[in-house]
Amino acid sequence: MAAWRAFHPPWIPEPVDPLVERLKQLRVAAGLVTALGVYTVVAGGFSLDEALENLVTASLVLLVMTPLSVCVLLLVWRRQASVRQLRRPLWRCLVLLLRFVGCVLLAYGLVSVSGSAGMLVLVLGPVTLWTVAFLCCAAVRLNANFFGTAAVHRGLPPLLASVTAWLTAVPDLVTGDLHGLGLTMGIVFVLGAPVTVSALGLLETRRLRRHHGIRLRTHPGVPGG
């Protein structure tokens, strides 16, 4: 409940279509595969430290690419209408993003310190476990609403989820870091999640366009946006 209150505030709009909501839930599952890394389990057992390292990487990607992607769309939208009215929802989304990144860094720091805390582990242990559980719930919630960006435009969550999934997976292929898996298995597991997220995102975007007239390239304040 604490994660829900912190990361699903009432200003985030309700879904416009039940099927879009189901697609979003599937996208959440695929996004979590990207965040945690299936190869972490396959290549020698689950590692909390490695999972958190992957989440830190994904959070830093989010911190850079989410504002950058939105800025590109703002340049497109401003040709159709003023974007000044979007400043408030954009600021709210940025606050959620910064709050999540802060939680990720806090959890990673607590897990790192707890391993060598001595007697302090009696205090840090429960705090660390609660923080990690809170972070997991927050990640699930934010994967669904993608930092409330639907309050800016309904088409933003699937786009940003796809961009993030690819940017967190591709570096492993570029650097050849397949975490002990063979080439074929490594490619399948590293690219499986972003391909799935992108496919579901395209279905979600198509559903919004065909059944609700919502187009990503159209300013949210004009018909078709």
Could you read off the pLDDT of 58-93 as tens digits, one per residue?
788 888 888 999 999 999 999 888 888 999 999 999
Going by C-alpha positions, the residue among 166, 164, 162, 146 that lies closest to residue 154 is 146
Q: Which residues constitute the domain of residue 107? A: 2-10+20-212
105 within some domain: yes
* pLDDT reported for residue 122: 67
Residue 15 lies in a domain: no
Give me the residue label for tokens 């800016």.
Answer: 152
pLDDT of residue 75: 92
Give the residue among 11, 221, 201 at the shortest CA–CA distance from 96.
11
Tally of domains within the chain: 1
- Report how far residue 70's alpha carbon sits from residue 48's, in angstroms, rounded to the nearest whole number: 32
130 found inside a domain? yes
In the chain, DSSP finds a helix count (H) and a strand count (E) of: 8, 0
User: What's the confidence (pLDDT) of residue 45?
Assistant: 56
pLDDT the model gives residue 153: 92
Are 144 and 184 a contacting pair, CB within 8 Å? Answer: no
Identify whether the C-beta of residue 10 lies closer than 8 Å to the C-beta of residue 19. Answer: no
Residue 46 included in any domain: yes
Contact between 158 and 200 (Cβ < 8 Å): yes
Does residue 224 sit within a domain? no
What is the pLDDT, as a whole number, of residue 91? Answer: 94
* Residue 107 domain-assigned (yes or no): yes
Question: What parts of the chain have a pLDDT lower than 70?
Answer: 1, 27-48, 115-122, 171-183, 185-186, 224-225
Query: Which pTM value belongs to this model?
Result: 0.83
What is the per-residue pLDDT for 87? 92
Structure tokens at 123: 């205090």
